[in-house]
Amino acid sequence: MSPVSADAPRQPSVVTVPLYQRKAEFFKTLGHPVRIRVLELLSDGEQAVAELLPEVGVEAAHLSQQLAILRRTGLVLSRREGASVFYRLTTPEVADLLAVARSILGTLLTDQAGLLDELRTDTGPTQRRS
């Protein structure tokens, strides 16, 4: 076996990331309340930053930072019209995902409320006095 020449071109290394890791990164992107709120608002259609600001309730710089993250990860697209910047979801499945999350949370909270009701009405075991 001959040694590799120092002049030999290097092959680019291709790093494949497992799908489950990409999913985790995707959900991390969704792990911020401002980003979730923005995506919920954009589920109703394209909106200008000026329209999003009062609904989200954060400073413009913070909203801009969160929108940049959503744009980098491919969840939203932007376009400029004059002095205004408009955002929209890249795919309607984002809105579907938020609706499913809402449904799951509703189920979990309903189950928890039922358990809480049971705890409140359950008198527990009868205690004996000595």
pLDDT in tens, 8-57: 667 666 779 899 999 999 999 999 999 999 999 999 999 999 999 999 99
pLDDT classification of 90: cutoffs 50, 70, 90: very high
What does the pLDDT read at residue 65?
A: 97
pLDDT in tens, 60-86: 999 999 999 999 999 999 999 999 999
| Tokens 């006095």 belong to residue | 129
pTM of the model as a whole? 0.74
Q: What value does the mean pLDDT take over residues 108-127? A: 78
What does the pLDDT read at residue 87?
A: 98
What does the pLDDT read at residue 91?
A: 96
